[in-house]
Structure 1
């Protein structure tokens, strides 16, 4: 029997009425003849309340205990979905991450999935049951509960789909699909019928909140079709797959942006003191994501390297750098706040020169200064003042005629 995996976010699990709707969607797929796995995110209000209680008790609660605590949020939602399904007369069972066979590394708060043993899920399928898995969690090699961090639920869903060789993954969100830009801030944004894994990966890394890049990476690796669809209305979503058609010959297919970007600059007394490899190795070991990197070596000036990080990682990045200052050999560190990153993405950019020039020229005409630049074959990103972010996104959406992306 064919298998599918359905992932529901916290907004789709916000009340008993929402949970009943989730159950009905799962039942509909079961009635179509599928073996069904439902992956639930944590209940946001519950997770927030639990975190606040932990903070009231301790300013430095052990990460192990916090993972045990916060993992209960998605366990609650999975059990409630199972109860709703059973009330509708269907056989269903809820499983925690470790019961579902999700093996992770030892990094609390931000664990990575190493393996999934789906034998127990298969046993429940053989009994005709719908399986509900608590997302965002697993168990490490010391038999301790771990949580997967941001994007944990959709990453769980895609990983389970790969292990089960499922037909597809449906990601239910509070939007109707993937748009050429955020429709809440770009009025002429259009929904895409299809988008490639590579394009979606870039958009996810560049600020799109629809699906986490870890989930997209897994989907691409195992060639799992993923549909991004609404948990509110029954409409056609956006299909993620390897290759998509070039509608209307659009070179750029999306604009993304990300606020609260910080530029960190590290300076050295001499170039011989600098080791970029050592610095970024230490940051990586602490799972601090570094984005745009610019090194400056100019005669008569001290060499510097600047890079961007997100606001929530700023304090940890400073701590790591300060703790490693002697071994890294830098003389000073400075930072600039109030920045944002705006990006254009499109697989057609690889074979069409001049896209970056058009982007820079349009931003110049809009009077928006560009502070840093990063490029790849299918994207160009710029760092701009945060108060110019929305203006830049709208201008670039207009510049590349994305309102013509009528895919639905």
Structure 2
């Protein structure tokens, strides 16, 4: 009998009515003769009162105890869904991360899954139960504590379990009907894709798409685990994420992504000999500051500069790190520009179709949208533009590459 891991987002489990609807959906899947393992996301509304209590009792509550509090939401949700399924006459059991055999380790202050001992899950499946696993948590045996996987933890939990038990696929039930060519709230004419590759989705998730977390996509690619993203409220086809996809009507570009609140930092040097890129970016990396687009300017007779883009939340830390290491890094000044956004096009078809970037720049020029910075890869072109032009740029590029056609 084939097995399927079904991951359900927190929105789809936020009310008793929603839980009832999902329980019906899970039972229907079980009736089709497949083993179903469910992973639920954390329900923050269940956690928040306890977090407020913690900060009322201490200005700096320990991370260990905050992790315990953060685990409450997904544990409660898994129990509630189990009760709803049992009410429909089917066997279900809620499992915490450690009960599901999820063992974690902490590396560079980040928690990752070390292994999954599948005996517990397999045992429940063999007895006809539907295991419902609390997502985004595991157990750190080295330090004898509950651990939280952080952003994208529930998606990653689902993919990890699927890989461990050699499931057929992972189904992600969410409030979206699938992966779209762009965010519909920004690009109203966006269309749902039938398929998308791991690499294409990885680019889109790193560029702002939030349907599936990139760490889960990376794991799915590693184990070649198909993911289906579909609606939690209606039983209609979603989007299949896999290794190689069929080209849809010669679709060169498969999606447009955007990211607001981008800041450009520029560091200037008196002499080229001082402009050692390794020094500045190693220093920023040592302080956990991610940079994105990098542009170096070295022209005879002009003082060299290095510009790079960062997210708004990293700005204050980046300035602090640069100023405190100014003498070591050897730069003469640091400047910045705010009010920027990043707009990107993504598609595996770019590899065999030259001129895509030129077409992108030409359309933005026609729209009178200035391009501040550019970054490219085999399947992506990103530009930094004024934030006030972000929505217009995204819609123009969506139209330019014919993504308004119906693909599914």
Q: TM-score range by the shorter chain?
A: over 0.9
Q: Counterparts of 2:127 and 2:199 in 1: how far apart (Å)? A: 38
Q: Which residue matches 1:77?
A: 77
Q: Which residue matches 2:113?
A: 113
Q: Which residue matches 1:87?
A: 87
Q: Counterparts of 1:254 and 1:54 in 2: how far apart (Å)? A: 43
Q: Counterparts of 2:171 and 2:157 in 1: how far apart (Å)? A: 12
**More deviation in 83-92 or 3-12?**
83-92
Q: Counterparts of 1:105 and 1:308 in 2: how far apart (Å)? A: 32
Q: Give matches, 1:107-146, under 5 Å.
A: 110-140=110-140, 141-146=142-147
Q: Which residue matches 1:241?
A: 242
Q: Which residue matches 1:373?
A: 374
What secondary structure is seen at the aligned counterpart in 2 of 1:368? coil
Q: Does 1:363 align with 2:364?
A: yes
Q: Which residue matches 2:104?
A: 104
Q: Counterparts of 1:356 and 1:327 in 2: how far apart (Å)? A: 38
User: Deviation at 1:90?
Assistant: 1.9
Number of residue pairs aligned between Structure 1 and Structure 2: 407
User: Deviation at 1:295?
Assistant: 2.3
Q: Give matches, 1:181-220, under 5 Å.
A: 181-220=182-221
Q: Is the 8 A contact 2:39 2:158 kept in 1?
A: yes
Q: Which residue matches 2:14?
A: 14
Q: Is the 8 A contact 1:368 1:384 kept in 2?
A: yes
Q: Which residue matches 1:156?
A: 157
Q: Does 1:308 align with 2:309?
A: yes
Q: Counterparts of 2:247 and 2:189 in 1: how far apart (Å)? A: 20
What secondary structure is seen at the aligned counterpart in 2 of 1:66? helix
User: Deviation at 1:317?
Assistant: 3.9
- Structure 2 gaps, min length 5: none
User: Deviation at 1:301?
Assistant: 4.5
Q: Which residue matches 2:24?
A: 24
Q: Which residue matches 1:180?
A: 181
From the superposition, tell whether residues 352 and 132 of structure 1 become closer, same or farther in structure 2 (CA, over 3 Å): same
From the superposition, tell whether residues 51 and 386 of structure 1 become closer, same or farther in structure 2 (CA, over 3 Å): farther
Give the aligned CA root-mean-square deviation in angstroms.
2.2
Q: Is the 8 A contact 1:195 1:241 kept in 2?
A: yes
User: Deviation at 1:403?
Assistant: 1.1
**More deviation in 353-362 or 53-62?**
53-62
Q: Is the 8 A contact 1:108 1:146 kept in 2?
A: no
From the superposition, tell whether residues 303 and 95 of structure 1 become closer, same or farther in structure 2 (CA, over 3 Å): farther
Q: Structure 1-normalised TM-score?
A: 0.92
Q: Counterparts of 2:276 and 2:55 in 1: how far apart (Å)? A: 38
**More deviation in 118-127 or 223-232?**
118-127
Q: Is the 8 A contact 2:64 2:146 kept in 1?
A: yes
User: Deviation at 1:107?
Assistant: 5.3
Q: Counterparts of 2:327 and 2:71 in 1: how far apart (Å)? A: 38
Q: Is the 8 A contact 2:46 2:72 kept in 1?
A: no
Q: Is the 8 A contact 2:121 2:131 kept in 1?
A: yes
What secondary structure is seen at the aligned counterpart in 1 of 2:97? coil
Q: Give matches, 1:334-345, under 5 Å.
A: 334-345=335-346
**More deviation in 113-122 or 188-197?**
113-122
Q: Counterparts of 2:121 and 2:372 in 1: how far apart (Å)? A: 51
Q: Counterparts of 1:150 and 1:104 in 2: how far apart (Å)? A: 15
Q: Structure 2-normalised TM-score?
A: 0.92
Q: Counterparts of 1:323 and 1:99 in 2: how far apart (Å)? A: 47
Q: Is the 8 A contact 2:41 2:136 kept in 1?
A: yes
* Residue deviations 1:358-380 (CA, integer Å, cap 9, x gap): 11111111111111110001110
Q: Counterparts of 2:79 and 2:108 in 1: how far apart (Å)? A: 24
Q: Counterparts of 1:43 and 1:90 in 2: how far apart (Å)? A: 24
**More deviation in 374-383 or 328-337?**
328-337
User: Deviation at 1:314?
Assistant: 3.2
Q: Counterparts of 2:322 and 2:265 in 1: how far apart (Å)? A: 11
Q: Does 1:222 align with 2:223?
A: yes
